[in-house]
Amino acid sequence: MTNTWLPLSVLLSSLLPGLIIFLLAEEQRRTRTLLNLLAAVTKLVLTGVMAWGVFQGRQYETRLPFLPKADLVLRADSFSLLFITLSAVLWFVTTIYAVGYLEGTDHRSRFFGFFSLCVASTMGIALAGNLLTFFLFYEMLTLSTYPLVIHRGTPEALRAGNVYLRYTLSGATLLLAGVVLLYSLAGAVEFTERGALGAVAAHRTELIAAFVLLMGGLGVKTALVPLHGWLPVAMVAPAPVSALLHAVAVVKAGAFGITRVIYDVYGVYLVHDLGVMQPLAIVAAVTILFGSVRALQQGDLKKRLAYSTVSQVAYIVLGVSIFGTASTIGGLVHLVHQGVMKITLFFCAGNYAEELHVHRVSELRGVGRRMPLTTAAFTVGALGMIGIPPVAGFISKWYLGIGALEAHQPWLVVVLLTSSLLNAGYFLPIVYSAWFQAPREAWKPSPGRWEIGLLLLLPTVATAVLSLAAGLFAGAELSPLGWTRLLTEREFRP
């Protein structure tokens, strides 16, 4: 039995509130916040229902006529649910955070309106049932995140916005070219487990060309080297935006797209057969190392985190571009793990900036005494990024390492472990100086009972706890790992 309204309502649950919020006056703070939270909770519930249904084997599909021979398809399969659940949960916490973060600033209606649109696009990307739908929402994401990046309106922000648009729109051109090429070859390609291009597998050249175009287009948002230039620049955005950009929306949309193309458009066996996996793995490996080295050289906390994202998202690409179950599990589960850990780190960076006006790594000395919970959350995130158990990042790294060896590519293990060392090199000094060094001058005491407003503190702590739980209880059936294992088994079933 197929349910046709649920995927659409998941999409609308953030699209409609977004449109309504645009109409609200700036002063209607309560209404706006209520609407935001209501939408976020609704989406969580709908996602939960859908996840349970998919777990039980039910079908969810909305199909709207769009172009001749190409419908607009929204379908929930286990892979989309992985991404949707991540987005829904993180959207919920980020909304709370953003309400606290932007308290008393201008243009909040505009901000939250585009914020909701951005999440709606992410939902669309996750639910897209074919390449065309995917492309549509992918571009909608670009356009809805641009106003968020330039939200502050400073010259620097506007410049960053320009860079962002140039990169993403150029990427879109390539993506469109790839989609059209595939369309001409095989019609509207529906995402199918184990690939949908089996019938045209003989057209090797065209398939490879389309693959390269698609990867080029998606690689921009994924921030693969050398297409990563926009990401560190886009750091001027407000903290909740950076958090969402880095954890769920933009870079993840790219990584999600790459995964979709490899597994559900081409099919992992075909991609392997075409010989395009190894080059992608090499690009990912270069990105991992380059991002880590560049992160080492940043003195600005958010910039360091940005380069860390460049490196960490490439882990996902690396995982899906090594042929084998273990690496696939590692890559996909890192999609979730990296999201939760990175959002924690960005929340922390936002907290430091908001409460103490600290932006640079060298200014963090002794911050642990003033903001212990935030710093504890930061520590969890940082340890997770390095891959120290029991934080979630460890699980990803474990599977990626095993997968690299399974595919007889020991050099990738060397890349992974070198990157871990580099990660330690740029995260541990921060953790050290925050906890163990004395502050240069006494911090100004907190005006409230807590180290920072609860609206900022609770999301930070919650995501840190999630990062810990996802790693510590990875063996559970409903953990990100459990879900990914289920999903990967289906992809690799011959």
Partner 1 sequence: MRADEWASLAVIGTLLVPCVLTGMVMLPLTRRVGMALAPWAALPALGLGLGTGATVHWKSVLLGMQLYAPDEVTRTYLLFTGVLWLFSGLFARGYLREDAHLASFWGFFLATLTGNVGAVLARDVASFYLFFAMMTFCAYGLVVHERTEAAARAGRVYIVMALLGEVLLLAAFFLLVGTRVNLSFDDVPRVVAESSHRDVICVLILVGFGVKVGAILLHMWLPLAHPVAPAPGSAVLSGTIIKVGVLGWLRFLPLGHASLPTLGTVCVAAGLTAAFYGVAVGLTQREAKTVLAYSSISQMGFLTLAVGLALGAPEAAPVLIGAVLVYAVHHALAKGLLFLGTGLLPATGRRGWRGVLVLVGLTWCALEIAGAPLTSGALAKLSLKSAEAAAHASEALPTLLSLAAVGSTLIMARFLECTVPKAPEQGKAGAGGMLLSWGLLLAVDTVLLFWPPVGRDELPHLLAPKYMVSAAWPVLVGGLVAAVVWRSRRWRTWRVPVLPAGDVLWPLMRVLWPGWRLLTTGADREEEEQAETAARLQGGFARFRKASLDEVENAEARLSRLSHVGLALLLFLGVFILLLVR
Q: How far is the CB of 315 from partner 1 (least distance, A)?
A: 15
Residue pair 216/174 in contact (Cβ under 8 Å)? The answer is yes
CB of 15 to partner 1, least distance (A): 30
By beta-carbon proximity to partner 1, the closer residue of 385 and 424 is: 424
- The DSSP bridge partners found for residue 74 are 62, 128
Could you say whether residue 455 binds partner 1 (CB under 8 A)?
no
Q: Toward partner 1, which CB reaches closer, 41 or 402? A: 402
Residue 154 is a binding residue for partner 1 (CB under 8 A): no
236, 196 contact by CB (below 8 A): no
Binders of partner 1: how many residues, by CB under 8 A? 74
Q: Least Å distance between CB 121 and partner 1?
A: 22
**Using the rule CB under 8 A, is 70 a contact of partner 1?**
no
One character per residue 167-206, x = contact with partner 1 (rule: CB under 8 A): x--xx--x--------------------------------
Pinpoint the alpha helices (H) of 322-439: 325-356, 367-370, 372-386, 392-406, 410-436
* Only segment of 49-57, 92-100, 138-146, 428-436 that touches partner 1 (CB under 8 A): 428-436
Near partner 1 in 461-490, by CB under 8 A = 471-477, 479
Q: What's the CA gap between 438 and 84, in Å, rounded?
A: 43
Binder among 153, 297, 450, 489 for partner 1 (CB under 8 A): 297
* Both tokens assigned to 386: 């390095």
Does position 296 bind partner 1 by CB under 8 A?
yes
Q: Is 221 in the site for partner 1 (CB under 8 A)?
A: no
Subset of residues 358 to 387 that bind partner 1, contact rule: CB under 8 A:
360-362, 383, 387
Residues 6 or more apart whose Cβ sits within 8 Å of residue 325: 403, 406, 488, 489, 492
**Shortest CB 163 distance to partner 1, Å:** 5
Residue 101 near partner 1 by CB under 8 A:
no
Q: Work out whether 34 is an interface residue with partner 1 (CB under 8 A).
A: no
**Distance (Å, whole) CA 103 – CA 214:** 40
By the rule CB under 8 A, 285 interacts with partner 1? no
- The residue length of the chain stands at 494
Shortest CB 106 distance to partner 1, Å: 28
CB 452 within 8 A of CB 446: yes
Please give the radius of gyration of the chain, using alpha carbons only, rounded to the nearest integer.
21
The CA distance from 197 to 191, in Å, is 10
CA–CA dist 247, 460 (Å, integer): 13
